[in-house]
Chains A and B, each alone.
Chain A
């Protein structure tokens, strides 16, 4: 079933690499332009559950890697499907200097909070997203905190350190 999927992928998308690590886990690396089409392709195949959307800050490659983990609710995903669900990991790299990507809410509606979180913590802008408002953090940060170039100790020092203790300056 996995080979059959692999053949179909290569047939429809050019420049996509499919590798399968464990027995029921496939990693597909695709360039950002075709990412949405690929996700649509998988959705039609029955992978209707977006388990996780996360980002990886590859600071040395000056890129962010967006990782979509897809599974299917239904046991068999095709006629001769192997019993037990199949986990798909779709990765695509976007340049670090202008981190924008298209929102997948149209395909997977439940991606909305994930995209807000990634926007807040990595600063990746998802255009087409209804409201990219902050989700967890209370304050504004110069550099989104999860980026590797964000020095947390220095931030703590100059933000919290600068707040004087009560009672001591009045003597």
Chain B
């Protein structure tokens, strides 16, 4: 935790600020959300590290995807992820987003979440404990330090592939694509 090394602050303030002010969007995607209240309240207090839950994606720069992702929830996750703005990081909770976990053969859950949205950090475990969340957060700090937490750049770079996968999984999406894809934007004008 190099929060109070003033020199670093002056050298690269945006990276340091991003590290020590991670506002997580409070969006219950799956069974893992039951882990978040103890994390942010008295016993484990994530606010020590500057992590507080916020209500809207606009104010957030950290997206915790907690638990299995059903096909219907994926639509909401994509929409929320696209409504957040750079620099933004995603951390996937539990084994289900990694490879489907115990729902590996269910027709209704998404197996590999990173085929649809970029993920910066994974926490294994079928519902990891709060301490694991803090490990993830500190791991995320090092990633930010090394500049490897570049999920949002990957999303921008391979947006066409991401969009194609999303439409493969969900069928036609109502909202226009985030970045101009060019050849097959049917109708909707890109913003």
Contact = CB atoms under 8 A, between A and B. Distances in A.
A/B: CB atoms within 8 Å of each other: yes
Interface stretch (B81-89, B110-118, B141-149): B110-118
Interface residues of A, number: 22
B168 A156 contact: no
B108 A137 contact: yes
A156 to B, nearest CB: 5
Interface in A111-140: 136-140
Interface stretch (A11-19, A28-36, A160-168): A160-168
Interface string A37-77: 00000000000000000000000000000000000000000
B165 A163 contact: yes
A152 to B, nearest CB: 5
Interface string A147-171: 0001011011001101111110110
B14 interface: no
A166 B107 contact: no
B169 A152 contact: no
Contacts of A155: 107
Interface string B81-99: 0000000000000000000
Contact of A160 (B110, B161, B171): B110
A163 B115 contact: yes
B170 A138 contact: yes
B71 A138 contact: yes
Interface string B48-92: 000000000000000000000001100100000000000000000
Contact of B154 (A139, A150, A160, A167): A167
Contact of A139 (B112, B118, B171): B171
Contacts of B170: 138-139
B21 to A, nearest CB: 29
Nearest to B73: A138
Contacts of A145: 107-108
Contacts of A167: 154, 158, 161
A108 interface: no
B131 interface: no
A164 B169 CA distance: 11
A156 B115 contact: no
B161 A166 contact: yes
A141 B108 CA distance: 11
A170 B158 CA distance: 9
A36 B161 CA distance: 53
List of 10 A-B pairs having minimum Cβ-Cβ separation, nearest first: A138-B71, A153-B105, A160-B111, A138-B72, A166-B158, A145-B107, A163-B165, A166-B161, A152-B107, A163-B115
16 contacts: A136-B72, A138-B71, A138-B72, A138-B171, A139-B169, A141-B107, A152-B106, A155-B107, A160-B111, A160-B169, A163-B112, A164-B161, A166-B154, A166-B161, A166-B165, A169-B161
Interface of B: 71-72, 75, 104-108, 110-112, 114-115, 118, 154, 158, 161-162, 165, 168-171
Given A152-B107, A156-B105, A164-B115, 16 more contacts: A136-B108, A138-B71, A145-B108, A150-B107, A152-B105, A156-B107, A159-B107, A160-B110, A160-B111, A162-B168, A165-B114, A166-B114, A166-B115, A166-B161, A166-B162, A167-B158
Interface of A: 136-141, 145, 150, 152-153, 155-156, 159-160, 162-167, 169-170
